[in-house]
Chains A and B, each alone.
Chain A
Amino acid sequence: MESDVHSVLIIGAGANDIQHGDEVDAATFQVATEFKKLGIHTIFIDDNPFSVSLESHDVIDHSCVEALTVDNLMAVINRYKPHAILPTLGNRRAFELTQKLMDKGVLREKGIRLLGIPEATIHQINNPVLLSRTLHSMDAPMKSIATVNNYQDALQEANRLGYPVIIRSVLPKSSSTRRIVHDRRELVTAVQRCLKQSRAEQVLVQQSLAGYKEIEVMVQRDQSGTMMMLAMVEDMDPIGIHAGDSIAFNPPQTLLDRQIQDMRDTAFAITRKLRIVGVNHVQFALNPANDRFYVIKNSPYFDRMTSFVAQSTGYPIAKVCVQLYAGKLLRDIDLGTDYIHHAALVEPTMDHIAARVPLWGFHELPEADRQLATEKKSVGTAFGVGRSPIEAVFKAIEATYRKSTDARLHEQEKLSDDELVVKLVHPEAGRLFTLIEAMRRGYSVEELTEMTKIDPFYFDQINRMRLLIEDVIEHRQKEPMLAEAKYYGLSNQLIAHLWETTPGQVYQMAEDHQLMAKYKEIEPSGGEFTQHTHSFYAAFEDENEVRKTAQPSALVVGTGGLRLGLSNAGDYFVAMMMRQLHADGFHTIVVNSNPSSVNLSYSLADKRYLEPATAENILQIVRIEQPRFLFVPASYTELLNALAKSEISGRVVVIPDTSRSQLTCADQRLLATNFLYDGKYAYPLGSTSNIHAAHPELGPTVVQYPAEVDGSLNQQLTEQGLANVLEEDHPGLYQVLFEQEPGGNYVKRGIQEMPLPELAFLSKALQLDLTGIFTRIVTGQVNDEQINAFLKREATMGTALYQPSFPFKALHVADGVPTANKVIGAQLHFLK
């Protein structure tokens, strides 16, 4: 079994969108790294310019930059003749593509195996009717649905199910026929309307699960049938709000053991029935009133839950899954010296709490509706780890919001009572602050539970958060208050705001009273065994588990969760930098609070601090680690200011994450000459342009390399640009922008650091690791000769296009105007 797979085709996930961020790229990177260790070749097809995997030729054997279509997959299969296909790293679409390959008979004909998922299960996952039939046949609890063709039958069904029920048309003539019906009166009109809207003159009467608890279970199975539960995650918000938009807790906080065990058993049964090897993510709706629960979704692939669970438990999911894919059994997996024997078989247990919060794109898209519903609206995610739910949530908020918590609370205070009630019943992004405000205004837990369907436990916690904030305000500059605030995870920023002072002053006070953070390791046995994941979080308690990393070390501050404009280019850049630092003999330490980030991968980071990148955290970590270099994103201005003011030993290098792409979405025809500058010489990297005029069918958003401009003009512009770059005061990657005037002449617009999305694109277009060379220049690891050698390219890939995408459709923004700061993802395309 183990011997017959020597090469695997991994189907990628394509451009980032609302449904996925870099968790898939992160998983692919880790999975491919492990395949490599097993001697299995990997072929990877994807067209995401921000993918680290696609550019990691030491990890992926054959990267294919191709759009994710069946034809392209066929071509790749014919070229590389893989023994197997792995469909679990490309979301649902990879399942759909795999099925198309199956339908064409390609797998049978070429004897290609599927890893992780049997063919029959691919069909099931792609077809909800098939899947629900299977689940019914095994008595898995599913919500009831009945098809009726008249009002009387609908009424009978509704009475049987109990209100509210959902009424939908069968084969609807228009798309929005779904109605939630709360009583008999509403039922009459809904059934009439939906019957009229149905081509089959039938309606579905469906049990509503709105208001139930949403529980996500992650289980794992090997091919011999051994199963284990990796985690259960509870969403604070009930069904009705997309799981990705809710605050989520690992481990669950409000579940009874019998509920947990029943859902665990069901998740096992489904995973067994579908013969899944690897991870399976099962979502449940639980009615807290009677313990009844329903299976609502089954996702047997790597998704944001997988990365959240892996980072928050310390269980190395990707590492284990690869071995399961390769045919190994859980009992035979050796996780190395950092873990105990048979660690892969130990169900993770946590002695900390992880809270995951959504990140929104409403700042860039103010016209989008902020109301939360069953469709996902958040664009990214961040998490906080603490030793109490409150501590975890305070940290997660700190990692998320640029705006301070007290400012968010002040906004809520301005709401009228009516506005507040509307927001309670129809929740919006950032609802935690609305809930805090509601408790401040004296709503009882019973009232709030009734209005929001949130478990009373969370109101207890929210109220304690509120009281704590009030306490801090009342006890200005008091040491015991500071100790308590730090114990519950309040940041110095928040405390400083409440005390109307500066975070630096609060830091000084904490230092004076020896109130410095200690660090605990995230380790999957709850302390029972000595194991090391090298992932740490801060705790203001007795024991400190962290030791200084071996030297020389470099500390890298991640760019945080996905945000519009930058998409994952920040993560891409940081990851590529860490690769280079590793290659140059540095021990890498990363500070990041985005669980999906590729730069938390074991092979990239020797040590991880899962903390918000605030000045207090970084200063304390620097004190422990004494890194030779500190890499900090330019957008972390407060942190950079604080670092400038403190005496730290290492050198600070700024990551240019604030530079905006001018070429993307410009109204004019623009051209950029791109350079690598080592502080002495500037090396031209070629020109890029938007293709406003040349390919109007592609829209005004696309960037092209090389620029559409004749050779001598290009030469001329490059020389102009070069002169500009040489005036810069620090080395880096730069672009000099030119605007074409109506007459055809190019006029210089200015110089800026190369925006990271374009840098990621250009690296792939040129097939040059620009981040790597940048890193070597700033760390002084390279000389002129080596740079020249680096820039000598073997072959050119021809014309490359960078086509960004925007979340207008997903967020229901009509007539959205594409601009560079709204980019959610992108596709890379080579013209042949």
Chain B
Amino acid sequence: MAARYLIFEDGTVFAGEGFGAPAVTFGEVVFNTSMTGYQEIITNQIYNNQLLVFTQPNIGSTGIQRNIYETIVPTIKGVVVRSLSNVATNNVRRLTLDQYLKQMNIPGITNIDTRAIVHKLRAAGKPLKGSIVPVPDDHAFDQLHATVLTSQQVAQVATPKPYPNPGVGKSVVVVDFGLKNGVLRQLSRRKCNVTVLPYTATTDEILRLDPDGVVLSTGPGDPNRLNSSILQTIREVEERVPLFAIGLGHELFAMANGAQVNRQPVEHHGMNHPLREVITDHIVYATQGGGFQVDPTTVDRTKLFVTYIDMLDNSIQGLRHREYPAFSVQFFPDGAPGPDETNALFDEFIDVMNRKEAQR
């Protein structure tokens, strides 16, 4: 492996060894504290524009599996690890993490003091731009400083065209902001007849399919940067059909109903925070990932109420509409990777659709 360097916009350099693609990319550096599921994490589109530091030190030991991709063409900007294992476990063609990242044109760097980076990012208190480069010279830093990260993240990762995922159960429209396959997996397990629509889908385009329910998917980036027509669409849809929003979808659902969404100083990606379900007072664990949160001071004046709270930072992790059968969660109830405890939210969504149908 060749020497490579992880450089930060503040001038810091970490020396390591390169793996994956020799490409030079730029992005915000964030860390993830999960101990399982690197393949699912790397293929999650929320990491578009980001270089991800794994705090779990050893990555790659289960190779690449055919059935756990969260997207087929990941757009993560880079993978930073302490220790890389090159193991292939698949049946037909041997594929290691290193080879996979090469195929996907994603750079990686190993032998990095990842714990030091976590401390650095927390101390910075704001997202830091970084890059994996072959030489940490002035040129590399100039390029890093000159880089303006795209605000068109959703446009980059969401499907441009509708496609079906047929089933024999409830008809569900999934609006794709950078969909995580886990959502489709959960709906498919419940036999739903799914149509995935681009995030630009209008109210008309959604309702034309006469869905039993609509899912707003997860996705990357800042919801405030998206066209506000999406919020109007959400308002129109939630009045008419049951709605389940996740991640970025949850943030948009909150905004559509009058709340504000802010960037966190340090992004949280992991699966070990206790989340309290307000109505039952139960504590559950779920995968969390992202840099944005609904501002709790702005929820009171909306028709939303809080359903889940992160007990460590008191952040809002779930919302529900007071009048419409519409609810949302900030975390990933599909797991993949992560605890299954909140999978039941998909059952709840099915129930809501059944009830709505019974009312007709």
Contact = CB atoms under 8 A, between A and B. Distances in A.
B25 to A, nearest CB: 23
A261 B185 CA distance: 16
Contacts of B82: 351, 387-388
A528 B118 contact: yes
A331 B274 contact: yes
A676 interface: no
Nearest to B119: A527
Interface in B1-57: 14, 31, 33-37, 40, 55-57
B263 interface: no
Given A341-B312, A389-B83, A542-B113, A349 B58 contact: no
Contacts of A162: none
Interface string B273-289: 11010000011010000
Interface string A539-558: 10111000000000000000
A279 interface: no
Contacts of B270: 349, 526, 528
A539 B37 CA distance: 25
A460 B87 CA distance: 7
A788 B100 CA distance: 75
A656 B30 CA distance: 51
A350 B35 contact: yes
A264 interface: yes
A260 interface: yes
Contacts of A456: 87, 89
Nearest to B67: A258
Interface stretch (A249-257, A319-327, A586-594): A249-257
A819 interface: no
B338 A261 contact: yes
A251 B35 contact: yes
A388 B118 contact: no
B353 to A, nearest CB: 25
A225 B280 CA distance: 12
A257 B85 CA distance: 17
Contact of A257 (B55, B118, B338): B338
A353 interface: yes
Contacts of A210: none
B95 to A, nearest CB: 14
A541 B113 contact: yes
A348 interface: yes
A345 B311 contact: yes
B56 A342 contact: no
A352 interface: yes
B193 interface: no
B272 A253 contact: no
A460 B338 contact: no
Contacts of A487: 111
Contacts of B102: none
Nearest to B12: A542
Given A346-B274, A526-B33, A527-B119, A351 B312 contact: no
Nearest to A225: B282
Contacts of A346: 272-274, 312
Given A265-B340, A349-B33, A226 B282 contact: yes
Contact of B311 (A260, A331, A352): A331
Contacts of B273: 346
Given A347-B272, A353-B58, A460-B87, A257 B283 contact: no
A527 B122 CA distance: 9
Interface in A122-156: none
Interface in A247-289: 251, 253-258, 260-262, 264-265
Contact of A526 (B14, B55, B276): B55
**A265, A348, A387: most-surrounded residue (chain B CB, <10 A):** A387
**B35, B118, B338: most-surrounded residue (chain A CB, <10 A):** B35
A351 B114 contact: yes
Nearest to B82: A387
B36 A255 contact: yes
Contacts of A256: 36-37, 62, 65, 68
Contact of B83 (A260, A387, A528): A387
B191 interface: no
B268 interface: yes
B198 interface: no
B203 to A, nearest CB: 37
A103 to B, nearest CB: 36
A352 B338 contact: no
B220 interface: no
B61 interface: yes
Contacts of B335: 257, 261
A330 interface: yes
A260 B119 CA distance: 28
A260 B57 contact: no
Nearest to A249: B58
A525 interface: yes
B115 interface: yes
A257 B37 contact: yes
Nearest to A331: B283
A351 B57 contact: yes
Interface in B333-355: 335-340
Contact of B336 (A257, A341, A388, A543): A257
Interface in B105-159: 111, 113-116, 118-119, 122
Contacts of A260: 36
Contacts of A460: 85-87
A225 B282 CA distance: 8
Contacts of A262: 340
A260 B34 CA distance: 12
A52 interface: no
A330 B55 contact: no
Contacts of B89: 456
Interface string B173-186: 00000000000000
Nearest to B274: A345
B274 A342 contact: yes
**B31, B85, B270, B282: most-surrounded residue (chain A CB, <10 A):** B85
Given A257-B335, A257-B337, A261-B338, A388 B83 contact: yes
**A226, A251, A253, A351: most-surrounded residue (chain B CB, <10 A):** A351
Contact of B33 (A225, A330, A525, A542): A525
Interface in A352-400: 352-353, 387-390
B245 to A, nearest CB: 23
**A225, A353, A542: most-surrounded residue (chain B CB, <10 A):** A542
B110 to A, nearest CB: 10
Contacts of B272: 346-349, 525
A457 B85 contact: yes
Contacts of A264: 339-340
A261 B339 contact: yes
Contacts of B31: 527-528
A261 B274 contact: no
Contact of A349 (B55, B282, B339): B55
Given A341-B312, A520-B115, 18 more contacts: A251-B35, A253-B85, A256-B37, A256-B65, A257-B40, A257-B336, A261-B335, A330-B283, A349-B56, A351-B55, A352-B57, A353-B57, A390-B83, A457-B87, A525-B272, A528-B55, A528-B118, A542-B14
Interface of A: 225-226, 228, 251, 253-258, 260-262, 264-265, 330-331, 340-342, 345-353, 387-390, 456-457, 460-461, 487, 520, 525-528, 539, 541-543
Ranked nearest first, the 5 interchain pairs of A and B with the lowest CB-CB distance are: A257-B337, A257-B37, A388-B83, A527-B118, A543-B116
20 contacts: A226-B282, A226-B283, A251-B35, A256-B62, A257-B336, A258-B68, A261-B338, A331-B276, A342-B274, A345-B283, A346-B272, A351-B115, A389-B61, A457-B85, A526-B55, A526-B115, A528-B118, A528-B122, A541-B115, A543-B115
Interface of B: 14, 31, 33-37, 40, 55-58, 61-62, 65, 68, 82-83, 85-87, 89, 111, 113-116, 118-119, 122, 268, 270-274, 276, 282-283, 285, 311-312, 335-340
